[in-house]
Each structure stands twice: as C-alpha cells, then as structure tokens.
Amino acid sequence: MGFNFIFQPKSMEVIVMLGLGLLLVAANCTAATTVPSSECQKQCGNIEIPYPFGIGTNCSMAGGFGVTCQPDQNGFSKPFIGGRELLGISLTNSMIRVLNPITTFCYNDTTLEQLMVNETTTVRSDDIDRNSPFRFSETHNKFTVIGCNTLGLIGNNNSGSEYQSGCFTYCATTTLSVNSCSGMDCCQTPIPKGMDFNVVALGVIKGDNTSQTWKGFGEQCRYAVLMETAAFSFRTQYITMREFSEMAAGRAPAVLDWSVRNETCEVAERNLSGSYACLSANSRCADSTSRSAGYVCNCSQGYEGNPYLPDGCKDVDECNQGRPCPSDGVCHNTVGGYRCSCPTGRKYSHSNNTCVPDAGLIIGVTVGFLGLMIFSFCGYMIRQKRKLKKVKQEYFRQHGGLILFETMKSEKGLAFTVFSEDELRQATNNYDKSRIIGKGGNGTVYNGVVKGKPVAIKRCTLIDERQKKEFGQEMLILSQINHKNIVKLLGCFLEVDVPVLVYEYIPNGTMYELIHGRNQEQQISFSTVLRVAQEAAEGLSFLASYILPHLPQFSMVT
C-alpha cells in the first residue's frame, strides 16, 4: 500500500527532495508481563532506562520497549530505540525524547538553475505496523520549515486515514527575520493527535521573480522536520549556512507519547491474559489520550516511583519536600499523604494553608468556664440552702419546736398551726411596709391573709434566752386560752432567730388609737378608760390563773 504527495502548481515548478521522518519497529504485545531481573542494565551512558523499557533479553516489557546500548565513534555509550537515538524517558508523563532526521535541501546558483525544470513530482512511502507503543506528541511537537520561498509538506497514512498538512515561507527581499519564525523565512504548523510516522516533502518554488533576487548569495538551505517545539529557536544563519542540519548530525529532538497498546484500562484491569502492566499496589491505570487504544500507569496520589514494578510506588515524604505546612505548624508524614498540626489554641485551615484561631477551642473553653461558674454558683447556692436549712432547724430546736411537735402529736385536735416561712411571706407580701398595723417594744405587727382567714402577724424583736426551750410549749398553752378580753393565738413560726406569732385579727384598731383617738382628733371618756383597764386586768388575771399552774416560770411580758 502506498502514500503519495502530488504537487501541481500552475505558475511554478517544484523540485522535491524527500525524507522519511521516523520508522518505528512494532512488536507483539500480547505476551504476559514479566518482571526484569536485578541484573538488567538500568543505564546507558548518562540516560536512565527504567522498566517497562529495558536493555537486553527479558529486561523490557513486550511491545516495542526494548532499548539497545551502542558506543559512538568516541566510545561513549548511547541508547537507541527503533533505530533512533534516545535522549530521555519520563514515566510520569509517559513520554520519550528521540532525535528525528531533518530533511535538508541545500543548493547554490548553478544548482538552482538546473533544478528549475520539473513541474510535477510524486513521493511514495510504505506504511508501518500500528502496534508500535509510540505516537508523535501533538502538544510538544510542530512541523517546522526553514528557508526562503520554501514549501514543506507532512503526511501520514493510518490504515487508510490520510493526513496532509504543511506550511509555506516567502522572502520578498534579502532582508531576513531576526530570531522569529513568523512565516517570512520560517514557518511552523501543528500536527494531529496520534501520528505514528511521517513522510516529509520539501520543495523550492520556481518561476517567481524573487528567486532571481537571491542569485549571488552563494549556498542556500531549506529544511523540514517534525521536532520538539521547545527545542527550536530560529536563527538567520540557518538559511545561508548548514548550521541547523549539522548541530546534531542532521537530527532534531522530538517528543513521543507512549502507552501499553491495544487495551483500555477496563479491559486490562481484568488481567485475563496476565499482561496487566500496573504491577505496583499503589498505582492506578489511565487510558491513553491518543486516538489508538492503550493505557498508561501512574502512582497513586501521595506515592512516587515506578508503577510498572511490584512495590515500585513508594510513599512520598511530603514533609521533606519544601514546607507544605504553615511556618508555625508541624508537618506529619502519613501513608499516601501528610497532615499539618498547629500550636495549642490554633487549628489548620486547608483553604489557605495557615494556622488560624481555633474557634471551637475558644468556644469550648468559654462554655467550660461558664459551665464551671454556673456549677460553682449552683454548688454555692446548694451549700447555702443546706446551711440555711441547718440554721432553721437549729432555731426550731432552740425554740422548743421538737417539744411542740411531740405535744401536738400526743394531744390531737389542738387548734394550733406551725406556719412555714413561705406562708407568712406570701400573707404579708414579703412583710411589706403597707401591711404594718402596729409597732411596739416587742415587735412589729402586720395584717395578712392565711388560708383565706385574716390574721395579725407579729415579728418579735426580742426573746428571753432563758425561755427559748419552753417557747413553743408556752405558745401551745396560750393558743388554748379562750377569753373575751384576750386575742386568740393561732400559731407561730419558729425557724428564725426571733419567732413570729400569728394572732386572730381584730379590726377595731389598737389600744393606743382607742385611748388617744385616731389622729388624736377624738378623746374617749374617763369611764371608758376605766372599763378598758378593768377588762384588761380581768384578762391578765385569767391568763395568770390559767398558765402559772402549767408554767410557773412564765413571764407576763411574753
């Protein structure tokens, strides 16, 4: 099967010189994956040869990855693959760099006159096996043409899918561009994805008046090559001298993508043929980006090394690679990654790789402090409440409360009540001043309502220390007195320093108001005063006669 270039210009004649860019040898890639021996040569000259590439038998993966190591004329070893010198191998990017032949056409004035006779030229080249693991990189290479009034063409024939492209340079004068490949005397054009070989045709345009302009300038050269874009820098000397073709013995660097051919990751990972190439446990498979089926192997994130070897991907110690953590943080290497820690009170922020104040810790400390304060306050209140309860119990005991309770239990039916503090505070609106109905040397009297019944509540000021123990019993005896001239005692409250007495409420005012008149406006008669004195004496007499037999030490002041 052939591949043709046909030039048929109407106003020009073309003289063609062809060059075969690269012919790569294909190999069978269905054999099982083998692990190279430790004795396999891993370097040729200063070029490392990592697996799946290898030098020698059983040292490379099947499918075109074999490398030969040959000495040059100076005895220095150089690696070759597919007949082309190998400049380097990248496992990470799945690329190799090789030297690709430059198609060169140099001539002088005499040669130019002799060549301007042809009108049509055909170039033919044979196909190669598509199983080769290599393809020209469309991102790193460009088809480059150098020379004045030069037409360069590049073509490919992939199983009947033809591709042709090229570029044209034109020089109107002998003034050349300086270090610029802009189309005047140098041009470049990209290539499609997946090119596995190239045929280059180089032509000199005739029949143009500008051709006569260059007569007398001696030898001139035209070049065409598919080469690495980053390795090319145009110089005007390339046109008038052979410098470009002589810089690497007529070869220029080119980048080839490579992959394990003819299977996708989905198929290869099943490993039905035993040829799955990603042997490292910490590796992953990625489908090839070229138009042909194939895949490459990469180490998983956090690992580096050779994914094509068992245990070839090693954990990366990111902490030793620069400073991945903030300056005030600490880096901790982990399997497949790393983590950053920050000083106490700060936490690591992944978004901007800094140590920021730990709001959670601050909130936690604050909440903890508030909780401690609340707990302490509650504990203090509980202790105070218990302490107050003990004090009340002590007052209750001192004022004869225990004896009073025992007596009340034994003598059922007594109309006497031991009130609680809450009952009396509620009855007097917390002993509000507006509830005061009388004051005396022995205390203050408030009016109030207890259980729906109006009462007079007396907060005593003093009590005889000698009579504290008998106080409760005295109150019980006094509550049993029924006399028209004595106010009835209803109960008491003993859990304070000075007890509180609860009497029946008499709404007619105080004795002082009766004798002196309210607001001192009304005066009572002398006979009324005598009657009051008489009835008071009767009440006291009855009180003495009733109590003294029970309590000989009872004081009438009480």
Tell me the binding residues for ATP.
458
Helix or strand run (H / E) with residue 374: helix 359-398
Retrieve residue 237's tokens.
Answer: 């000397």
Q: What does DSSP assign to residue 241? A: S
Neighbours of 364 (CB within 10 A): 11
Neighbours of 250 (CB within 10 A): 17
Based on C-alpha coordinates, what's the Rg of the chain?
58
45, 77 in Cβ contact below 8 A? Answer: yes
Sign of CA dihedral 456, 460, 464, 468: positive
Closest CA to 288 of 95, 127, 25, 143: 95
305, 280 in Cβ contact below 8 A? Answer: yes
Burial class from Cβ neighbours inside 10 Å (0-12, 13-18, 19+) for residue 501 reads buried
Sign of CA dihedral 405, 410, 411, 414: positive
DSSP E strands, 170-219: 186-189, 198-205
Q: Three-state SS for 302?
A: coil
As a whole number of angstroms, the distance between CA 239 and CA 244 comes to 9
As a whole number of angstroms, the distance between CA 50 and CA 56 comes to 13
Alpha-helix runs per DSSP H in 223-358:
237-240, 243-246, 265-268
DSSP string computed for 439-474: EETTEEEEEEEETTEEEEEEEES---GGGHHHHHHH
Q: What does DSSP assign to residue 41? A: B
- Which residues are documented as binding site? 458
Strand pairing class (436-440; 417-418): unpaired
Helix or strand run (H / E) with residue 527: helix 526-547
390, 397 in Cβ contact below 8 A? Answer: no
Q: 311 in the Ramachandran plot: left (φ > 0), alpha (ψ -120 to 50) or beta?
A: left
Strand order through the sheet with 141-146? 103-107, 220-228, 141-146, 186-189
* Inter-CA distances, 421 with 414, 426, 494, 496, Å: 21, 9, 9, 9
As a whole number of angstroms, the distance between CA 421 and CA 128 comes to 111
As a whole number of angstroms, the distance between CA 328 and CA 357 comes to 12
As a whole number of angstroms, the distance between CA 101 and CA 24 comes to 13
Retrieve residue 193's tokens.
Answer: 């994805």
